[in-house]
Structure 1
């Protein structure tokens, strides 16, 4: 049985670090207020002129270097983002050109904060079906471009960054002891579109700003993230006791803690980076994976479950053995 196995990982964060105190200069907020409600202490913002594809390319090159590969050895590039440089072409094709890939194909996936989980599922399908042998999967965002800087309930939460994985086809036995992606679980429900959205686009002919019903998103997140993680584990023939690391979407420390409790996983088995990066949407899981490896937390053979929820609402989980 073909498995999609992680062969390399990397990330990139813009140079500009923005502490919570920066918001207190213009908004009625404070470092304590932001930390107590989100767990966030700082985040990174892209420089003027720095685009999502720029961030994605830096993360892609880091993952390729970790895998010992060149850009032209990749069959497909999938970039999860809600903040692509342009309406079209895809930011993925811009990364393709930047890394010197001339033999593959590239496309974007847009599922907001769940985008990287969706992208992993598509990469897995390409590899398992034999349509690709190596897939570069990237999550990258510049959410600082779509913030309403007068809305303290949203603008303090988000940051910019990118993370990437190289997935390669390897033979497995079909058992849960195999390395690679073992199962995926994807969901969406468009009835909840008004809970988290950007009020711009082609229809309005402007970029728009992010809008969120925070309390409702929180309620759905805690409920749905635990359910999708359980579902993905069940599909793999596993349960929470088998998990070495939960690598969740880094949106809010209270969501992360509540979801871990529902799963029955102690926080010492959860990779947490939200304090340093804020919510980087589709970039948050690959960022956390790369940081988790760099910290020495995630090691070869570890069983991981990743889960995320974003606008749509869209949510899902992936179980993989590192």
Structure 2
């Protein structure tokens, strides 16, 4: 039996650290009005809700394409493959390359083509393309690569998630403290797994695009004297939270049930690092669907020090665990894990994988 297997991983964690106290002097607005609470109180409450203490921003000389290429090189090196053998180079992002101080996104050429250029891959049969799918974009890239493998079109894929959300965040909006920058990548190969039963076991994908379509969008700054033509990422936090709790656990259950793996055999859940309390509530509700309590050590978390880097959160988290940089979480051959994400669209996906 052939399955899609992760044979290498890599990440780029930006060097610029923004800790919560850095926001103590930042005024925050909502609908053009200065929030009455002190910035110190706003930041303290933010930490209680999200769990975020730090986030990472890229240095001014780097773009999403640059850090995606770094993560890609690390994944290629970890896998040991010849990059000229890559059939699909898939890059998940949402805002393209945004230079420091710029107000325009650059997505032509595509980030995938730009990263292929930076990697120096000459093979024209290495098809490079972008995926725009909100925060679940990287996981959607994994699902697409797996589909191409099963169709007999490809055998090796490089799937990258990269984002510089710090450059599209409104600093006057308290939600801006959630967002961060980063990049993660994996090499996925289609291999005979008859002796190990490793690889992707199942997947589930959903899009809710009626009233949910506006839960995460672009809008002008909350600062009253801002230029209305300059757009920033905006989020209806309560709506996103309620949507995620209602829909993500069911999608995760659908995915696990398709795999045929009993929930008692599930070792880890790698979930999009969006909000600590939301992620914990999603996992608890997922286990409630099986009338079980959630294990205390089931979910690795990096949000406390990396924040929410959108498409980069899951591949970065996988790399941290795989490379032994989160010693409290280990993966052994044969472990079944569940990957899940939710984001703008609104989109949800999940993948069940045997390590």
Provide TM-score, normalisation by structure 2. Answer: 0.85
* Preserved CA contact (<8 Å) 1:73 1:101: no
Question: Which residue in 2 is equivalent to 1:189?
Answer: 208
Question: Which residue in 2 is equivalent to 1:26?
Answer: 26
Distance 1:139 1:240 in 2: 28
Question: Which residue in 1 is equivalent to 2:261?
Answer: 238
Runs of 5+ unmatched residues, structure 2: 28-37, 98-105, 221-227, 288-293
Question: Which residue in 1 is equivalent to 2:242?
Answer: 219
Query: By how many angstroms is 1:47 displaced?
Result: 1.3
Pick aligned residue for 2:86 from 70, 74, 89? 74
Indicate the SS of the match to 2:39: coil
How do 1:1-322 and structure 2 match up within 5 A? Answer: 1-27=1-27, 28-30=38-40, 31-85=43-97, 86-103=106-123, 104-152=126-174, 154-173=175-194, 178-191=197-210, 192-199=212-219, 208-264=231-287, 265-294=294-323, 295-296=326-327, 297-322=330-355
Distance 2:154 2:259 in 1: 23
Distance 1:267 1:29 in 2: 33
Distance 2:67 2:340 in 1: 23
Deviation string 1:22-81 (CA, Å, 9 cap, x unpaired) is: 111213433532220100010110111311011101110111111112322311111110
Indicate the SS of the match to 1:319: strand
Query: By how many angstroms is 1:199 displaced?
Result: 3.1
Distance 1:300 1:255 in 2: 29
* Preserved CA contact (<8 Å) 1:34 1:41: no
Distance 2:107 2:188 in 1: 27
Query: By how many angstroms is 1:278 displaced?
Result: 0.7
Indicate the SS of the match to 2:178: coil
Distance 1:137 1:206 in 2: 33
Query: By how many angstroms is 1:244 displaced?
Result: 0.7
Larger radius of gyration: 2
Runs of 5+ unmatched residues, structure 1: none
Rate the CA distance shift 1:97–1:207 in 2: closer, same or farther, 3 A: farther
Provide TM-score, normalisation by structure 1. Answer: 0.93
Give 4+ residue runs of structure 1 displaced > 4 Å after superposition.
none
Distance 2:230 2:336 in 1: 40
Query: By how many angstroms is 1:180 displaced?
Result: 0.8
